[in-house]
Structures are given as structure tokens and as C-alpha cells.
Amino acid sequence: MDLQLRRLRQKHAKEAPVRARPVMNVTPLVDVVLVLLIIFMVVIPALQNGLSLEIAGVFNVDAAAESKNPFMLSITKEHELYFDEEQLNANALESKLKAASRSQPGRRIVVRADKQADYAKVRDIYKIAQSSGFPGVSLRVNRLHDGEEN
């Protein structure tokens, strides 16, 4: 009986189909991930530019200051004020700046103004920002290269 069992096993072993081993093809996955990476690299910087300002330029720009996530105070050419993304009126500016300075005393503030904004108005707002208690107030400008006009 043992001999018959062995022969039966050998017979069935020869007839058993060879199973294909599954292999995962990761090329389409990598292609999709790279396309998504490129899309995010293009879209994210565009989303961060909330307010459209045409910043004035200078030829001799100071070295970049090491400041992590400063507050942004923006002035449009129509003299509208924005503190980060929040629009303010001129009356509430000083109290808002002082409250922000007290809530996060180590954070700096950057003033950026449209190049068509009135200089006297920008200077007055810069003075208010300086007197609000921030550890540093900077004015954002763009770098001009030779041959460019402001």
C-alpha cells in the first residue's frame, strides 16, 4: 500500500501546475508620486503669496537676518493695512501690534509696502511698528540687478 501511495503522489506531483510568483511593479507608483511632488512644488509657493504687492527694489541689500516666522505688516498702494492675513484699519493698528508683541515677545515684524504707496504713510506705520515693542522691525525690499529699474 505504501508503494501505491508513493506512485499516486508522484503522478499528481508531475501534473500540478507551476504557480507564477507575484512580482510587484512599482514603476507606476513612483511615476505618480513624482508627478504629485512636482505639482505641490509649483502650487504651494503660489498659495503663500496672499497679498499682491509690488515691492520696491534696491541694489545693495543687507545680509538676510535669521528670523523664524516673523509677523508681516503689509501696506497696499491704496494704503490698506494687513497684519499677516488680517485686514486692519489705521485706528486699530497700534493696539493690534502691541498685543502681538506682548503675546509673542521674541518674534520680529517685517513691514512690506507696495512701491506706489505714499512714503510718508509707510514711514509713519514703520514708526508705529518700532514703538510697539518688537525686538526688531525690518523693511522688505527686492534686490535689483544691474540694468533694472525700480
Backbone angles phi, psi at 109, to 5 degrees: -130, 140
Q: Is 109 in contact with 73 (CB distance < 8 Å)?
A: yes
Q: What is the pLDDT of residue 35?
A: 95
Give the Cα separation of 78 and 116 in Å (integer): 9
57-143 domain in CATH 3.30.420.270?
Answer: yes
Identify the bridge partners of residue 138 per DSSP, sorted by sequence position. 110
Q: What is the pLDDT of residues 54-100, one digit of tens each?
A: 565 544 454 555 557 888 888 888 888 998 888 888 888 888 989 98
Least confident of 7-16, 37-46, 74-83, 123-132: 7-16
Look over the chain and give the mean of its residue pLDDT values, rounded to a whole number: 78
DSSP 149: -
3-class secondary structure for 47-84? HHCCCCCCECEECCCCCCCCCCCCEEEEECCCCCEEEC
